[in-house]
Amino acid sequence: MQTEPNVTPSAEDICRVWRADRHLSSGAAIVYMQRIKLFRAYCVEHGLVERGELTLERVNRFIDWYAQRRNLDPRSLHLFRSGLRSLNRIYHSLGLAPPPWRSPRPAKPPATPLLSEYADYLLRHRGNPQATVDQKLYHIGKLQDHLAQAGEDWHSIRLVDVDAFLVAYAQRYSRSYVSGVACSIRCFLRFLHWSDRIPVDLSEAVIAPVQPRLERPRRALAWEDVQRLLKAVDRSTLMGLRDYALLLMMSTYGLGAGEAIRLRFEDIDWEADTLSVVRPKTGTAFTLPLLPAVAKALADYLGSMKKLGVSSAPG
């Protein structure tokens, strides 16, 4: 059955799919819906069929158009891309057959007959998806280059060769990445032994780096701690309202202190529900959605300033 091109999911349909997925927070859903409404207005204005415009290439064209119209940096509008990709998935969920988000890239053929056979083994016997196969072939190709430089090949591969390769990689890449490379090598060595290309199964002897728990510091406070911090702010004073708004923006958007304290009145676009931010170090400008909670905190602070006749923020 062919889908009618003018059938579009309603806002209720979209929210229903999001609720069923349980992968999208309520705040993100609000932001995505705002972006979808702007995209739909663009399609109507230009006489475009919404479903046909839901590809990465055409969404980027819409973003460029919107950025030019609003005098914004297109690189700051990544949430448009995320929201419209979500809409593409919703079309899929509802059986409305949208076009592929990305044009499929032709698979790069393996470099040697052995790797071609290994790729076929991974696809047919191991059930690996093509992306995983490509990644494993890339890792094995790097090991093959390492062996060639040492005058070795797969038939004469030794455990010391594998160790030397992984040690060299560990000096350049993270533990987690090197662990993935080691996993690819184990799988390939197992295949070489299974196909009688090497007499001994070396796979079990390949040692990957271990990343201890809590080796890295926590990147952020737990949300419960953030909520306790926000609740501790005394919002009965102008300074408290200011501090609450700053802390809320920093915790919601991940802004640094330098970014938050440099915000100006004109950086808030109440009509478009956006917040313009500039990176202090690089001068890069980007735009964030003005979420309802943040908008209320800013409005409370600015409203109190107006009532008190204060023209600048308290020190």
Structure token digits, residue 41? 């207005």
DSSP 280: T
Residue-wise pLDDT tens digits, 39-69 = 999 999 999 999 999 999 999 999 999 999 9
d(CA 74, CA 55): 17
Look at residue 219 in the predicted model and tell me its pLDDT: 64
Domains and CATH numbers, the chain: 11-93 (no CATH), 113-205 (1.10.150.130), 223-308 (1.10.443.10)
Q: In what order do the strands lie in the sheet with 268-269?
A: 268-269, 274-278, 285-289
Structure token digits, residue 126? 């191991």
Average pLDDT for consecutive 10-residue bins of the chain (315 residues)?
63 84 76 93 94 93 93 86 90 84 72 88 84 90 90 88 91 86 94 91 86 61 88 91 92 84 85 84 77 92 84 56
Question: In which element (H, E) is residue 126 found?
Answer: none
Crossing angle of helices 113-124 and 175-194, in 10° steps, is: 100
Look at residue 156 in the predicted model and tell me its pLDDT: 87
Overall pTM surpassing 0.75 (yes/no): no
d(CA 66, CA 3): 29
Look at residue 2 in the predicted model and tell me its pLDDT: 40
Look at residue 46 in the predicted model and tell me its pLDDT: 93
CB 50 within 8 A of CB 59: no
